[in-house]
Structure 1
Amino acid sequence: MAGAGPAARLPEADGLPAPEENPIPPPLPLRTELSRLEIQRYSRQLVLPETGVRGQLRLSACSVLVVGCGGLGCPLAQYLAAAGVGRLGLVDHDVVELSNLHRQVLHRESRLGTSKARSAAAALREINSAVQCVPYELALGRDTALQLVRAYDVVADCSDNVPTRYLVNDACVLAGKPLVSASALRLEGQLAVYGYRGGPCYRCLFPKPPPPETVTNCADGGVLGVVPGILGSLQALEVLKIATGMGTSFHQAMLIFDALEGRFRHIKLRPRNPDCAVCGDNPSVTALQDYEQFCGSSATDKCRMLCLLSSDERVSVEEYKQILDDKVHHVLVDVRPLVEVDICRLPQAVFAPLSKLQEKDEGCLKSLVQRICEARQPSSENKAFPVYVVCKLGNDSQKAVKILQGLSYQGLGLISVKDIKGGLMAWANKINPEFPQY
């Protein structure tokens, strides 16, 4: 979600309007009465004492910037449009992919390959044509974020990467806008409201980003589709409460959701940190920065690519294919979790999950050593026997190489351990298009 400048423009598809440069919109007017059709449309929430006509009029004058039109942004925007928010700004530089559809409920099969921002805007206009939907087909970066955030009343962070979280937080603090933030992964999620009524900002709680190799996203760790749906709906609820004047309970608490247990927990947050770099009494961050450099990772929800090994410790999928074609004796070690091996695998691979290798699991290591010894030809005992390691993307395989390079077992002999760059997804893209991608 970070970078600079608009993404490539896409042709018209599935009745979507042709993309155009969207200028920063002017503020919405505060109206004094509802039309007959609006009363009919919003009648179920108009009769709520907490909302009423005054709250509905405030909604119609409110603008919300949605950063990310994915698993969180889709349900969030859907409910905000249905509730009658005046304007929705939809930021996303990505396109709709088949793997999105199990959780990103605004998109359709007919819109595969289409801009997510435009796809979401088209779907929202069908829900409520009175809502202004402004798609921004761009990668949010320090050159664009502050200008956009200043043009909206509330910001919802629905991104899936650490650099964008810091970028959006800092932009909201500098612009004085409340930030409703959520995340979802596997069977868990969390939600908080930052920079609202004296509460902390994101940097107050997390002044330093986590090491990039410890961060997992949906592509790496998976997610059950309904989990971001629940968190996105809760985000929408907090936006509506802020917009109508009800306020929020999560500017001084974080909501933690455990889908497996069906349990919600509230964690009390520390108050605003007076020494915070961006919202403190003497801030050192007074302008937006290079957040990819700050976090040491790319601002994308795609799978991260690590570089832990030297080039001579790695082989490409093309090189490994040549090794197979030349029938070079070797052992291929698949270090993915069993749940991923069940999805797809190369038939020649030996299964040894990274978690077992990291634990120095004796049974796993002995089994692996035995397979290497069995595969080694007697004539090559004085040479380093080749061992190749593969995973999904070539990240875990690099960690495994470092572990296997330190193997010291009687009878193992010399081994040369290398990983396969890009892993099985590179194999599917470059060698065998029939190999499943996940």
Structure 2
Amino acid sequence: MLTDEELLRYSRQILLQQVDIDGQLRLKQSRVLIVGLGGLGSPVALYLAAAGVGALHLADFDSVDLTNLQRQIIHDTPSVGLSKVDSAITRLTAINPQITLVAHRAGLDADSLAAAVAGVDLVLDCSDNFSTREAVNAACVAACKPLVSGAAIRLEAQLSVFDPRRPESPCYHCLYGHGSETELTCSEAGVIGPLVGLVGSLQALEALKLLAGFGEPMVGRLLLIDALSTRFRELKVKRDPGCSVCGTGPRAAVEHE
């Protein structure tokens, strides 16, 4: 049940027929893992907390640095030097003290990542490196948990949803294989703040759709964002039967829509 305070707090989204009381109850009963509390994880955590997702599991081994504040809006100047998880917990508690916050302050190895994924309903990958994205994807496929994945660097970004509960859904490895040997990070290549805010907000929206059960999640679709020209492009992506993570057979195609 929703309390009177919850009915008032979430009234604007409960008014949506796609959400309503039943959708809000599903959000309240949901558990979500956010991997990374940086540029992407900041708006993700803020919006999911504000929306009333019942339990947010926050994973980040890093501490807040002055260079983070240009884009990582969950943190502030007094939090420089603190654990990003602790900084985020302070902000999220102030926004919505009714939700449960679970801290994962240490780096997640294979076993702890598998346990963390198994303990939630949905995972958001807000990390900034390929190896973490691959590990999170493999854990989600193994546990059959939906994954909302976003990435941004310089003035370009990508977004997709991978849902192993759906037989037609690709996984992250279907798209990217073994990645790039010349992978760059934001600290090396730079990134504009509003772009990660945009992608993180879209990740939060996709998560709410999956959790509350409305709309059409971005399963089998890859959104490409060019912030320099403010252009959006969508590609259809098929599951790879030969994927070493989720299938066997010849490689699938990526089609322009």
Task: With the length of structure 2 as denominator, give the TM-score of the two structures.
Answer: 0.93
Cα deviation, residue 274, structure 1:
1.9
Partner SS, residue 144 of structure 1: helix
Check if 1:208 corresponds to 2:162: no
Q: Are the aligned partners of 2:209 and 2:217 in contact in 1 as well (CA < 8 Å)? A: no
Per the alignment, residue 67 of structure 1 pairs with 35
Cα deviation, residue 35, structure 1:
1.1
Which is greater in Rg?
1
Please tell me the root mean square deviation across aligned C-alpha atoms, in Å: 1.2
The separation in 1 between residues aligned to 2:209 and 2:92, in whole angstroms, is 20
Per the alignment, residue 231 of structure 1 pairs with 199
Comparing 250-259 with 162-171, greater Cα deviation is found at: 250-259
The separation in 1 between residues aligned to 2:150 and 2:216, in whole angstroms, is 14
The aligned amino acid for 1:189 is A
The separation in 1 between residues aligned to 2:113 and 2:190, in whole angstroms, is 28
Q: Deviations over 1:98-150 (max 9, x none)?
A: 00001111111111110001111111010000111111101122131101000
Q: Deviations over 1:262-290 (max 9, x none)?
A: 121111112x22221121159xxxxxxxx
Give 1:115-134 correspondences, 5 Å limit.
115-134=83-102
Comparing 41-50 with 199-208, greater Cα deviation is found at: 199-208
Per the alignment, residue 224 of structure 2 pairs with 256
The aligned amino acid for 1:183 is A
Q: Deviations over 1:155-193 (max 9, x none)?
A: 000000010010000000000000000001111111001
Partner SS, residue 143 of structure 1: helix
Q: Deviations over 1:67-124 (max 9, x none)?
A: 0000000100000000000000000000000000011111111111100011111110
For structure 1, list consecutive stretches of 5 or more residues without a partner in the other structure: 1-32, 283-438
Check if 1:275 corresponds to 2:246: no
The separation in 2 between residues aligned to 1:35 and 1:169, in whole angstroms, is 36
Q: Are the aligned partners of 2:45 and 2:92 in contact in 1 as well (CA < 8 Å)? A: yes
Partner SS, residue 189 of structure 1: strand
The aligned amino acid for 2:42 is C
Runs of 4+ in structure 1 off by over 3 angstroms are: none
Cα deviation, residue 195, structure 1:
2.8
Q: Deviations over 1:354-396 (max 9, x none)?
A: xxxxxxxxxxxxxxxxxxxxxxxxxxxxxxxxxxxxxxxxxxx
The separation in 2 between residues aligned to 1:88 and 1:76, in whole angstroms, is 10
Cα deviation, residue 217, structure 1:
1.2
Number of residue equivalences: 247
The correspondence for 1:199, drawn from 169, 172, 192, is 169
The separation in 2 between residues aligned to 1:137 and 1:72, in whole angstroms, is 17
Cα deviation, residue 38, structure 1:
0.7
Cα deviation, residue 247, structure 1:
5.0
Per the alignment, residue 366 of structure 1 pairs with none
Check if 1:171 corresponds to 2:139: yes
Per the alignment, residue 253 of structure 2 pairs with none
The separation in 1 between residues aligned to 2:57 and 2:243, in whole angstroms, is 29
Kindly tell me: are residues 233 and 113 of structure 1, through their superposed partners in 2, closer, same or farther at Cα, counting changes over 3 Å? Answer: same
The separation in 1 between residues aligned to 2:65 and 2:37, in whole angstroms, is 12
The correspondence for 2:187, drawn from 216, 219, 226, is 219
Task: With the length of structure 1 as denominator, give the TM-score of the two structures.
Answer: 0.55
Partner SS, residue 65 of structure 1: strand
The separation in 1 between residues aligned to 2:191 and 2:54, in whole angstroms, is 31
Identity over the aligned pairs, expressed in percent? 48
The correspondence for 2:53, drawn from 85, 91, 100, is 85
The separation in 2 between residues aligned to 1:248 and 1:239, in whole angstroms, is 11
Give 1:273-422 correspondences, 5 Å limit.
273-280=240-247
The separation in 2 between residues aligned to 1:275 and 1:247, in whole angstroms, is 30
The separation in 1 between residues aligned to 2:87 and 2:217, in whole angstroms, is 32
The aligned amino acid for 2:121 is D
Q: Are the aligned partners of 2:118 and 2:143 in contact in 1 as well (CA < 8 Å)? A: yes
The separation in 2 between residues aligned to 1:89 and 1:200, in whole angstroms, is 25
Cα deviation, residue 205, structure 1:
1.6
Partner SS, residue 111 of structure 2: coil
Per the alignment, residue 70 of structure 2 pairs with 102
The aligned amino acid for 1:143 is D
